[in-house]
Structure 1
């Protein structure tokens, strides 16, 4: 039986399907890796902000000590480019006097390239006193 070379022929379709499916799998894999990187950076910065707030809220420490602690933790874990904008403020949080450490850091979108100050997180801790 003779086969025509029209729309019914499927010669070479396996190669085309292989390329299309592998292209989608590569994009999906890279997207999951990028999401993991963003979550790692976010979780690290959140932990550093909370730890800096707890450290700075101790009775014998100040807000400057909390900022220094947060900067040290972020620099150690991620690098100095992620610890450039760390601030502290005092106020009320849930009805108690509290120290708030706020960190603004780059948000990576493609690899480590992303938006400057695209991610902002805060850590809160109740201020201790000796009274």
Structure 2
């Protein structure tokens, strides 16, 4: 089948038009996935730090150190800059709460950031 001269190069134009839609869509989905990875990592590290601080013989500073090491080991240490720890009541029992505050770039490395606050709780062990 022969093409007319007016259709010559139309496949390239079609390809570019489709690519202009698909590439930003793909990159957006990838970026959402990365933000969720960081959020889930921060939440897991906060929970682990709270459990570690709640063990008898350990204190809040130990929990913060554990949370920082967990975050730095998986994503980046810059997400572990702002960590708060306090004693709270967890379902009527004394416990520890660790809150991690982080700003995650939402649109690439230099784009605007999304503020995340994740918390982990654990019931403190008591001496028998």
User: Whose Rg is larger?
Assistant: 1
Q: Is the 2:48–2:66 contact (alpha carbons within 8 Å) kept by the matching residues of 1?
A: yes
Report how many residues are paired.
122
Shift of 1:79: 1.8
Q: Equivalent residue for 1:46?
A: 43
Q: Equivalent residue for 2:54?
A: 57
Structure 1: distance between partners of 2:88 and 2:94: 6
Q: Is the 2:107–2:113 contact (alpha carbons within 8 Å) kept by the matching residues of 1?
A: no
Q: Equivalent residue for 1:128?
A: 125
Give the structure-1-normalised TM-score: 0.84
Runs (5+) with no aligned partner, structure 1: 1-8
Match for residue 92 of structure 1 among 84, 89, 92: 89
Q: Which structure has the highest helix share of the two?
A: 2
Structure 2: distance between partners of 1:65 and 1:123: 14
Asked whether 1:26 is paired with 2:23, we answer yes
- When the two chains are superposed, the root-mean-square deviation of aligned CA atoms in Å is 1.7
Shift of 1:12: 5.3
Deviations 1:4-52 (A, max 9, x none): xxxxx76654433221111111011101110111111111111100000
Runs (5+) with no aligned partner, structure 2: 1-5
Shift of 1:105: 1.1
Give the structure-2-normalised TM-score: 0.86
Shift of 1:60: 0.9
Structure 2: distance between partners of 1:28 and 1:115: 19
